[in-house]
Structure 1
Amino acid sequence: MWNRISKHHLFWPLMVLAALLLFNLIYKPAFFSIRIQGGHLYGSLIDILNYGAPLILVAIGMTLVIATGGIDLSVGSIVAISGAVACLLVSKSADQNSLGIVLTAVAVSLGLAIVCGLWNGVLVAGVGMQAIIATLILMVAGRGIAQLVTSGQIITVSSNPYEYIGAGWLALLPFSIFIVAAVWLAAAWLTRRTALGLFIESVGSNATASRLAGIRSRSVIFAVYIFCGLCAGMAGLILSSNVSSADGNNAGLWYELDAILAVVIGGTSLNGGRFYLSGTVVGALIIQTLTTTIYMIGVPPEITLVVKAFVVFAVCLVQSEKFRNVLTSKWRKRRYQAEREVTHHV
């Protein structure tokens, strides 16, 4: 029973998340306290879910891309483009509180995010370019596009409907949590209740064999890159609306790396094939909890990334079955030698 539980793909990610939460509870006993203020729930756990929502969205899209054997390094730039375009359209409006203007800005931003995903899909599936190179192009160019949209400045908006996307509340909880839940449920249903999930895993395992078996590999790759771009676009809207501003230079910076780490921590292999959306969500929560913990204990900003990298490295080692087997074999060998010595003395 223990072997079956310990080999489950969610076991070690959940154990790491539990360890982080336990550390926070010991360091700050009020960490788990949740209070109702003004009809809203407040607390560290709510903050982790709220601030981790954009990363979870990006990581969900990244999971499907990685499952096909690809990678998307442009998600951070798409986050910046989406937020910049939306804030620009809202800021240029005479009535920023107009629901129609906000919906138009959201639609245009998500449309551009889909176009960005389609561009990556064309380069990877259509042209045959390596995914890391194809998405690296948009990663660099996209950041420049976001800065062009904002003219190198921070665009601020004062729109209650737009602010509601990332800073609004629904049924006591932040509205961003419901966006993430809807996207995760839709992705889980499409990949586990239809044949799409099998197609994605088949393409990731062997694209040529999948094509020969009748699977439209190119269409599958197009679909996952478009979906990943859409997820990054929604993340950009949440990020920008949460602070009522858009920063083309820093918005979504390094999100692609955090998303890849979340996918790997969640148990999905970078080689493609089998993927775990639930594991990705847990991985993203681990990264966000780790970030919250680092800030809470007062780690100096100049070494924050070093501490974060070290912890993530340790987490990946713990998850490695080969690494655990090496440790276990050494422990068993030492135990066997100790028992032999005791028997010899007796």
Structure 2
Amino acid sequence: MSRETDAVRDERVVADGESDLVAPRGAGRMRGLARHRLLWPVLVLVLLLLSNLIFTPGFFEIEVRQGHLYGSVVDIVRFGAPLILVALGMTLVIATGGIDLSVGSIVAICGAMACLRISDLGDQNEVTGVLAAIGLALALSLVLGLWNGALIAGVGVQPIIATLILMVAGRGLAQLITGGQIITINSSPYKLIGAGYWLTLPFSILVALAVTALAVLLTRRTALGLLIEAVGGNAEASRLAGIRSRRIMLMAYVFCGFCAGVAGLMISSNVSSADGNNAGLWIELDAILAVVIGGTPLAGGRFSIGGTVIGALIIQALSTTIYTIGVPPETTLLFKAVVVTVVCLVQSPAFRARVFRRRAPRPLPVAEKPKAEVAR
């Protein structure tokens, strides 16, 4: 047999059931890039950032002050770090076919616990005492995540119901910890988590990068990611195949609780106070939006950590853009909802196929075909 020529090896693309079209390799690669799940989120993020240049000419300027990086873009990533963390945990939960509505309450509980312990210290700048408070708060976040996982994977409670219980009760627990008051602290070591700098970068960005790298390492460099997708695709079938689906679901909820706990430390550290009523309020909805915008379906079965990070940055960039262009406060939520709706529609393949592609011509009815063809 003769070797295949380049023309034979070219990709064949079938267009809506019509005749085969021969496309060069370059065209095939461009078409594959256009269908990449991260293309549209990245384009939306770039457009949002560029739109700020109209109102703030120096939006992309980054400068170094006293060895620290400052700039609008840096602030977007810094303020978006807690949302990135919560969205990372939410990604793995949604990938298993579940949902976690309690992350906002876990944010408030962990921030309140850490601030309460630090406020009881004789010296709030004592590193050992601050580390003990942080460790206690993170241990509590693991327990709360374990509670959700036990209800869902062990008892069989529906995820939306189990996490709704902690969403309501957890907010009350946070206010019980703070005594219904705002706990204010003055601790330089604790302030480092959300408002400090290290190696010229905001420390919160470094924490978000470390947790993201850990999630990628565990899910893409080991079989854990494949197991999570298998459980999300069909938990019963994966169980019959020998996968311990309940253990996988339990691990996902524990990780989600941990991420929410770290985000709670960031938020309370940034303002040096804990507010059990308002800390992390509605962050669960922004996290779900970030996951969906990033290309992870709510039905589970597959997930994209990179897409989730981009989705979280889109939401934070959108919030920054809203304030930059001067949208009235009473219409902020409506404006945000409209933009998110447009983003979800634009990245939907079904919507793009219906709006931007021409429909294939309908076949002629038998009565309108030529007589010779009908006679056959």
Q: Scaled by the length of structure 1, what TM-score is found?
A: 0.95
Pairs within 5 Å for 1:276-295: 276-295=304-323
1:94 corresponds to which residue? 122
Deviations 1:231-257 (A, max 9, x none): 000000000001100110110000000
Q: Could you tell me which residue of structure 2 aligns to residue 138 of structure 1?
A: 166
Task: Say which of 109, 124, 127 aligns to 1:81.
Answer: 109
Question: CA–CA distance in 2 between the matches of 1:92 and 1:6?
Answer: 56
1:274 deviates by 0.9
Q: State the aligned residue count.
A: 333
Q: Could you say which residue in structure 2 is the equivalent of 1:107?
A: 135
- In structure 2, the residue corresponding to 1:103 is in which secondary structure? helix
For residues 255-266 of structure 1, the aligned pairs below 5 Å read 255-266=283-294
Structure-1 residue corresponding to 2:186: 158
Q: Which residue, 334, 342, 356 being the options, matches 1:328?
A: 356
2:93 paired with 1:65: yes
| Structure 2 residue 223 is the aligned partner of structure 1 residue 195 | yes
Q: Secondary structure at the match of 2:189?
A: helix
SS, match of residue 344 in structure 2: helix
- Structure 1 residues 81-126: Cα deviation after superposition (integer angstroms, max 9, x where no partner): 0100000000111110000111011000001100110000011000
Q: 1-side partners of 2:50 and 2:163: how far apart?
A: 38
| Equivalent-residue separation in structure 1 for 2:357 and 2:138 (angstroms) | 52
Counterparts of 1:306 and 1:255, CA distance in 2? 17
Matched-pair contact (CA < 8 Å) for 2:296–2:303:
yes
Cα distance change on mapping 1:328 and 1:247 into 2, 3 Å = same
Q: Does 1:40 align with 2:65?
A: no
| AA at the equivalent of 2:101 | L
Kindly, what percent of the aligned residue pairs are identical?
A: 65
Per the alignment, residue 258 of structure 2 pairs with 230
> For residue 340 of structure 1, what is the aligned residue in structure 2?
none
2:301 paired with 1:273: yes
Structure 2 distance, partners of 1:62, 1:10, is 18
Deviation at 1:6, TM superposition (A): 1.4
SS of alignment partner, residue 30 of structure 1: coil
**Deviation of 1:182 (Å):** 0.6
Determine the structure 1 residue equivalent to 2:341.
313
Structure 2, unaligned stretches of length 5 or more? 1-28, 362-376
2:269 aligned partner: 241
In the alignment, the residues of structure 2 paired with residue 150 and residue 306 of structure 1 have an alpha-carbon distance, to the nearest angstrom, of 33
Aligned pair partner of 1:18 in 46, 49, 72: 46
**1:342 maps to which residue?**
none
Picking from 170, 173, 183, the partner of 2:198 is 170
Aligned partners of 1:131, 1:332: CA distance in 2, in Å? Answer: 43
Q: Give ranges in structure 1 of 5+ residues lacking alignment.
A: 334-346
1:181 aligned residue: 209
Q: Which residue of structure 2 lines up, in the alignment, with residue 343 of structure 1?
A: none
* 1:304 matched to 2:356: no
Aligned-residue CA RMSD (Å):
1.1
Q: Cα deviations across residues 35-66 of structure 1 (Å, max 9, x unaligned)? A: 11111110000000100000000000000000
Shift of 1:331: 8.4
Which of 31, 36, 46 is matched with 1:8 structurally? 36
1:185 counterpart SS class: helix
Secondary structure of the residue aligned to 2:59 is: helix
Structure exhibiting the larger radius of gyration computed from Cα positions: 2
2:180, 2:358 → 1: CA distance? 56
Residue-by-residue CA offset, 1:130-165 (whole Å, 9 max, x unaligned): 000000000000001001111111110000000011
Change (3 A) 1:51 1:332: farther
2:58 to 23, 30, 36: 30
Cα distance in structure 2, aligned partners of 1:116 and 1:307:
34
Distance 1:254 1:34, change over 3 A: same
Q: Measure, in 1, the Cα distance between the counterparts of 2:136 and 2:73.
A: 33
The residue matched to 1:29 in structure 2 has which SS? Answer: coil
Q: Give SS of 1:35's match.
A: strand
Q: Give the secondary structure class of the aligned counterpart of 2:58.
A: helix
1:217 maps to which residue?
245
Deviation at residue 298 of structure 1 after TM alignment: 1.6
CA shift, 1:26, in A, is: 2.4
Q: Per-residue deviation at 1:301?
A: 1.6
Q: Give CA-to-partner distance per residue, 1:174-194, whole Å, 9 cap, x none.
A: 000110111000110100111
- Cα distance in 1, alignment partners of residues 82 and 326 from structure 2: 24
Considering fraction of residues, name the structure with more helix: 1
Give the letter for the 1:317 counterpart.
L
Tell me which amino acid in the other structure corresponds to 2:184: T
1:338 counterpart residue number: none
Question: Aligned to 1:124, which of 144, 152, 158?
Answer: 152
Amino acid at match of 2:97: G
Q: TM-score, normalization: structure 2?
A: 0.87
